[in-house]
Structure 1
């Protein structure tokens, strides 16, 4: 199976990177460990109504916080990654820096997610 990445873009260079393979996830995680950049992982599922509801807000956050890496992982495509991060509900947003979890937001809570990104982005 080849590595497949899709990037959804809006204005400017803001993007949310959809990761579809374990290999690609591992590359992003390794890159995060060697960087001081905040990574926000959006664990979601295609069938999840609240995930669809908050998706435009996540793209807006990616525009606002262009210095933060936004990764989207479908829990049905990469269940082991979701399990490794203790994801039990969707959407779950896990904030990582240098490979370590700093915070998480469970549910479609845009304001709370915004506050957590503000808090940890530097």
Structure 2
């Protein structure tokens, strides 16, 4: 499941995120956030050929528990997960290369 253009209608539960298997990018933001809008081409470019990485796009905001459980403070925040565990995080990425570099961390062997 490469790049996802729209936010989920309902955010997943933290337990569902923790039980993911394989590589995933959890993206927190909103459709109206300017920083989020500017980052979309970068995120899409980095994920377009990465069918091995699940992209979970979550609309964040006040009272949204999933974002709070990941201590999200600024949008967009990308949390890179391997088997449900955070291995890397980018806040307001400025370039496609830094996203690609974080994706490489997902591909690295554990250890």
TM-score of the superposition, structure 2-length normalised?
0.79
Match of 1:111?
97
Unmatched 5+ stretches in structure 1: 1-12
Distance 1:60 1:77, change over 3 A: farther
CA deviations over 1:34-67 (Å, ceiling 9, x no partner) = x2x1110111112211110111222222212111
Which of 31, 43, 56 is residue 58 of structure 1 equivalent to? 43
| Cα distance, 1:28 vs structure 2 | 4.9
Taking the TM superposition and a 5 Å limit, the aligned residue runs for 1:1-122 are 14-16=2-4, 18-22=7-11, 25-26=12-13, 28-29=16-17, 32=20, 35=21, 37-76=22-61, 79-109=64-94, 110-122=96-108
| Cα distance, 1:113 vs structure 2 | 1.5
User: What SS does the aligned partner of 1:117 have?
Assistant: helix
**TM-align CA RMSD:** 2.3
4+ residue runs over 3 A deviation: none
Q: Which has the higher strand share?
A: 1
TM-score of the superposition, structure 1-length normalised?
0.73
Number of matched pairs: 105
Q: Take 2:18 and 2:27, find their aligned partners in 1: how far apart are those partners?
A: 18
Unmatched 5+ stretches in structure 2: none
Q: Which has the higher contact order (CA 8 A, sep 6+)?
A: 2
Q: Which has the higher helix share?
A: 1
Q: Take 1:51 and 1:29, find their aligned partners in 2: how far apart are those partners?
A: 21
